[in-house]
């Protein structure tokens, strides 16, 4: 692969440096062998703004040529043909590349003796399974950027809940929250159970533009999530949010009103799905009558259980909002009645009553 020369070298390590012209070509090595259901890969196929096909086919202006390596695109039924680029990257013979991890990272150190939690291919010399942890240890230090796809990879998710036997964690927990890639980036976290497809593609495209030298690093919040996607709460983008301020709360899932009292955590969860929708702008949990269970948050699922119970703050906040909401609802009803009529001068009678004064006729 070819890369443009750097204008200023601030490190001997390849890919580092702020003043560089960018890459012409880059490889994406996607590993979904974390503790996972592969739901993020499946969800990604629904993206269309842009689609992953548009990126791979080079239809997005300004992006480097992208070589995507994912098991659903394997040239064979697994085996060494598929693993060849991963092995080349581990040896240091493939650069630059973006490492995408799907699924939570188990703690291999808690296993006494032989055994492993999850693996990706076999060691060519011994035939023994090569653990996900081994691959991350080899690839992450050499990667130009590292992206965690989905809540399992970002924060551990369901596999990392209390009482789990695997010691699962998110990628930043494993690599360290101070980890920095060859491109000078921390782990880029795109949570979601699974990822909202456009959220992931938008983030990936930003990282690719940054790799091309035509965009700054993506702005991330304190949990390394893209700020522009996770800077607002579900409630702030929810069509049901206006019912909350009027104390209009649903008592069952057939109601169009606010779902806080049926278990929705939307007022405190960072997620843009109600505003963005799920596929082609359609769907999204509260948009179709579902509650928000906080799947983009680092405390998921433990902090939001039991699901479908009213959140701890819901009782107090709904109690406080009731008198205010009753007044607001009544005042808005009166105003609605006032403005919900046509002016009286709109009629078909012989006398004009619109207030027109012929004195002002030219």
| HEC letters along 10-72 | CCCCCCCCCCECCECEEEEEEECCCECCCHHHHHHCCCCCCCHHHHHCCCCCCCCEEEEECHH
Query: What is the model's pLDDT at position 19?
Result: 46
Mean pLDDT of 350-354: 90
pLDDT at 360 (0 to 100)? 64
Q: What is the 3-state secondary structure (H, E, C) of 101-162?
A: EECEECCHHHCCCCCCCCEEEECCCCCCEEEHHHHHHHHHHHCCEEEEECHHHHHCHHHHCC
pLDDT digits (tens, 9 = 90+) for 3-14: 333 333 333 444
Phi and psi torsions of 86, nearest 5°: -65, -45
Average pLDDT of the chain is 89
Of residues 246 and 70, the one with the higher pLDDT is 70
One-character DSSP codes across 288-318? GTPPP--TTSTTTTGGGPSTTSPPHHHHHHH
Q: Is 206 helix (H, G, I), strand (E, B) or coil?
A: helix
Lowest mean pLDDT among 73-87, 102-116, 263-277: 73-87
Question: What pLDDT, on a 0 to 100 scale, did the predictor assign at position 1?
Answer: 37
Would you list the domain boundaries of the chain? 25-229, 232-340
**Amino acid 114: pLDDT:** 86
**CATH match for 232-340 among 4.10.480.10, 3.20.190.10, 3.40.50.300, 1.10.3210.10:** 4.10.480.10
What's the CA gap between 316 and 260, in Å, rounded?
11
Cβ–Cβ < 8 Å for 106, 166: yes
pLDDT at 234: 95
Whole-number pLDDT of residue 105: 98
The whole-angstrom separation of Cα 247 and Cα 265 is: 16
> Mean pLDDT throughout 21-44?
95
Residue 316: what are its φ and ψ, rounded to 5°? -65, -45
- Quick check: 172 pLDDT over 80? yes
Say what the pTM is: 0.84
Q: Is the peptide bond before 24 cis (omega within 30 degrees of 0)?
A: no
Give tens-digit pLDDT for 265-295: 999 999 999 999 998 889 999 999 999 999 9
- pLDDT confidence of residue 20: 58
Q: Given this model, what pLDDT does residue 346 score? A: 87
First to last CA, the chain: 76
Describe the crossing of helices 132-139 and 80-91 by its angle, rounded to 10 degrees.
Answer: 40
More confident residue, 190 or 248: 190
Rg of the Cα atoms in the chain: 26
pLDDT of 71 strictly over 70:
yes
- CB-CB contact of 223 with 294 (8 Å): no
pLDDT the model gives residue 18: 43
Higher pLDDT, 237 or 329: 237
Torsional sign, CA 41, 42, 43, 45: positive
- Asked if 252 contacts 267 with a C-beta cutoff of 8 angstroms, the reply is no
| Across 9-13, 96-100, 121-125, 210-214, least confident range | 9-13
Q: Which residue has the higher pLDDT, 317 or 337?
A: 337
Cα distance between residue 67 and residue 75, in whole Å: 13
The domain 25-229 having CATH identifier 3.40.50.10490: the answer here is no
């Amino acid at each position: 692969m070819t890369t443009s020369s750097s204008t200023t070298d601030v490190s001997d390590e390849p890919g580092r440096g702020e003043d560089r012209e960018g890459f012409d070509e880059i490889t994406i090595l996607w590993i979904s062998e974390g503790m996972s259901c592969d739901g993020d890969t499946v969800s990604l196929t629904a993206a269309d703004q842009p689609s992953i096909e548009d990126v791979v086919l080079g239809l997005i202006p300004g992006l480097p040529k992208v070589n995507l390596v994912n098991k659903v695109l394997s040239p064979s039924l697994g085996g060494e043909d598929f693993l060849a680029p991963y092995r080349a990257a581990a040896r240091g013979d493939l650069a630059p590349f973006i490492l995408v991890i799907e699924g939570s990272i188990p703690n291999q150190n808690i296993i006494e003796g032989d055994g492993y939690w999850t693996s990706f291919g076999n060691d060519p010399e011994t035939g023994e399974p090569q653990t996900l942890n081994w691959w991350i240890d080899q690839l992450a230090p050499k990667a130009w950027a590292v992206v965690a796809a989905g809540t399992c990879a970002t924060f551990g998710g369901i596999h990392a809940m209390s009482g789990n036997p695997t010691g699962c964690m998110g990628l930043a927990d494993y690599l360290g929250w101070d980890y920095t890639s060859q491109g000078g980036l921390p782990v880029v976290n795109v949570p979601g159970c699974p990822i909202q497809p456009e959220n992931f593609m938008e983030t990936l495209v930003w990282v690719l533009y940054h790799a091309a030298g035509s965009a700054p690093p993506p702005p991330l919040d304190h949990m390394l999530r893209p700020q522009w996607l996770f800077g607002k709460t579900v409630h702030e983008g929810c069509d049901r949010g206006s019912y909350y301020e009027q104390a209009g709360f649903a008592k069952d899932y057939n109601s169009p009103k606010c779902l806080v009292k049926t278990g929705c955590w939307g007022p405190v969860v960072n997620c843009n799905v109600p505003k963005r929708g799920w596929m082609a702008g359609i769907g999204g949990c509260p948009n179709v009558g579902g509650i928000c269970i906080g799947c983009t948050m680092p405390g998921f699922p433990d902090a939001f259980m039991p699901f479908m119970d009213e959140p701890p703050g819901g009782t107090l906040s709904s109690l406080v909002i009731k008198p205010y909401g009753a007044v607001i609802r009544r005042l808005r009803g009166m105003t609605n009645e006032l403005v919900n009529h046509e002016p009286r001068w709109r009629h078909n009678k012989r006398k004009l009553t619109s207030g027109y004064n012929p004195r002002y006729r030219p």
